[in-house]
Chain A
Amino acid sequence: MAPLQIHEPGKTPLPHAKDQVAVGIDLGTTNTLIAVAREGRPEVLRDQNGHALLPSVVAYTPEGILVGKPARHALLDDPHNVVASVKRLMGRGAEDIRAVAGSLPYDIDTPNDDTGDGMVRLKVGGRSLTPVEISAELLRGVAARAETSLGHKVDRAVITVPAHFDDAARAATKDAARLAEIEVLRLVNEPTAAALAYGLEKGAEGIYAVYDFGGGTFDISVLRLQMGVFQVLATGGDAQLGGDDIDHVIAEHFMQERIASLGASTLSAGEARMALMSARLAKECLTTEVTGNWNLDAGGEQSSHDLDRTTMDRLIGPLVERTIDHCRDVLADAEVSSADIKGVVLVGGSTRVPLVARRVAEFFGSIPLVDIDPDEVVALGAALQAEALTVGSDQLLLDVAPLSLGIETMGGLVEKVVRRNTPVPAAQYQEFTTYQDGQTALMIHVLQGERELVDQNRSLARFELTGIPPMVAGAARVRVTFMVDADGLLTVRAEEATTGVQQEVAVKPSYGLNDKTMAAMLRASLENAQGDMAARLLRESKVEAERIALAVDAALVTDGDLLSDDERTVIDGLLAAMRSAVAGEDRDAVEASAAAINQGTSAFAQKRMDRGIRGALTGVSVSHLAETVDSGAKT
């Protein structure tokens, strides 16, 4: 007989599809990766040609949707049907984008009024698509790769996001996964995932910094690693600063040279992309070479450009210094000095630029760690966390809220409710009051960011607390509670204290997809969405039934003596009926059997409660008797 397994209290694993591993996905600006971990050993999954990186490029061709390398090849020939770097638009509003549209290689669609979600839409291949739908294609692309090598469907994943992603961008990432039919076990911050991969593989202990300079985002996190606990002390960065910006600076330099020799001219979207592509090639080439020559072809005229590393360093210097300024701020927030940092982990393709690595080494006074491939380390960490969440592990990730959260007060000022670097999950409240006599409603405007003025921060949501009884100004007491969960997602609740009028919103509306749009997208993209939904509901019902069965089993072991033989036979019969329902595929039967158990064990539960209360009374003085019984009866 196999030895009995003893689990920690409350952590008995549920009978989830045990043979189906959960994956880790790094949904990057430039590349997307997928990895799995088994017994603490993570591994990146590769395509048939051995490539780990799936270029984050999607092409919408008349023949169908292409993802990855083939899509990237189409980027030059067919720029109007191809989208790259879509991550930079995640969670952005149409208004945000219009301001920078000129400098982005996208065709922005005028927002469609009847959807009313304010989301950016791109014109691609004759369609109007949101960044969420395009990201979902990337997730489907890597999931398909994983399904080939794992031999089963990928339906649960840890997905990484830049630590500096705001609430809207996080929500958009979750929506993309939902469209791709992947359940998000957790959103994990990219630098935290990288630290996890390093910590576990290298047995690191002490304070470490993770410098994560990717294609479109920059994060710097300071973590303390001790005895399997990965505690983020502080995080900082810029969600709109990445390797793409380096390409831009170099491309602009080329354009200035070109204008000097050939005169001013306007570039088409395709030619602008060519210029960016040349700039990127120059950047990549100059990581190993000290000089090179590139040509730009536009409007039938070719121009030739020499670039050496010293000149490139001068061009991109200001961008690199911005990252160093963030490093300085984060050390201060973490209350450590660079001397306390035991090691700096480099993450992201942009850390391959020699100037970046050199400046990081100078600032932290130590040689950065690059033992794990900077392109793969985030996906490896995500895979480790996916295993931890489904199979269990000794590691523990304690992360923080990267940006302050607050609400608008009088005069367009922001009152912070949750400060940045607060450990999550967190709940904080602040009290506000009315400013006019008889005021019966209060507009709550939720903001994210560090600045003092409303206009300088990101607007996440507005909602109205109504039904406040008329009182003199300042008499109402409205408590606004912010709750940030382990994914870094915010829920806000407002409550008027004297009356208990209450309202709650999961913060999503400003730039998120509403459920109606989401449902329409699901229908449009999946013929079998209905079937998948049914399968998910069946699984949830089974999980619930299994929980009930385990609970009744445990109760029978402890208190079985309270039952007569007949009563016991009835309960055993109900349990057996439920187990056979769980073995089947009929959700109604599973639910009916669960309801029958609940019904059939209520007398048993009453006897157990009576015994528990009698036990508690032993040794309790008579004066407490009444209230103890009372409190037992109320529950």
Chain B
Amino acid sequence: MKQIDNFEYPQGLRDDFKKAKKLEWITIGYLITTALAMYLTMGNSQAMKTAWFEDLLSLTPSVSFLIASRIFFKSPNRDFPFGYHRVVSIAYLCSALALFSIGTFLVIDSVITLAMREHATIGTVVVLGHQVWLGYLMIAALLWGTFPAIILGKKKLPIAEKLHEKNLYTDAKMNKADWMTAAAAIFGVLGIGMGWWWADSVAALVISVDIVHDGFNNLRQAVYDLMDQVPMTVDNQKRDPLIEKVKETLAGQSWVKDCNIRLREEGHIYLGEGFVIPAREDNLTQLIEEASREVRQLDWRIQEFVIMPVEKLPKEEKA
């Protein structure tokens, strides 16, 4: 069976990839410390519990990125002629599903807490001989979970776009949005301090709805990816402009009378086909080879592009 070529990031991106891996290791270490800090100060505040879950969940994109990055470089072989690129999409699906399902659970949990009119108790703890209200420690833990996360997120975002790496992008986005969780949870804790028993579960509800929202968006994108949706830019705004470029390149060949293309995404890379009606038939094999090479040279992401001469183009696409 014909296998696709071995994949490696182009020279210019290898350093970015190394940096991304390093940043993800730092993220994991950091998230473990915040999860620990939150667990130790959680008490029986629902908002803290939800923020803690959110924190643990935000580990999944980094972990899945690091796991996937060990696998997707593996060479295509007899059993996997397309290589291992789709591991990235599968990892993305897993983290999105985790986000969505735990978010749903937390929404239900928070609604029950609110409906039962649970009053969260926050007492005192003795730290280094000083007796302090646990609420202040909760706020400290939440702040520790905010600022470094924002910095990490800001550093990862541009790299994720360059590497066309969705796990990394989700991760960076979540890190950057972390301050909203912290703000909601701090409101919950301060609300308890003000004697508003409902503040805690309302804050928890806000956080969990946000988790579901993130989870749903990512889940949808992950499913679309696995269904071979047309390649989208990593920030999911629009069709990748590369599609048009490929089409133009093919249409620009002097020997091509008419053409149409089809691209799909496998992890970081694109595979695709072009259907062409040749204007003349002599030297066709060589012309096809050359055109295919030219398309591949457009961008590192285009890993394989098959050109098929046809008499009639497949039906025009429906909108």
Bound pair (A, B): no
Residues of B within 8 A of A (CB): none
Residues of A within 8 A of B (CB): none
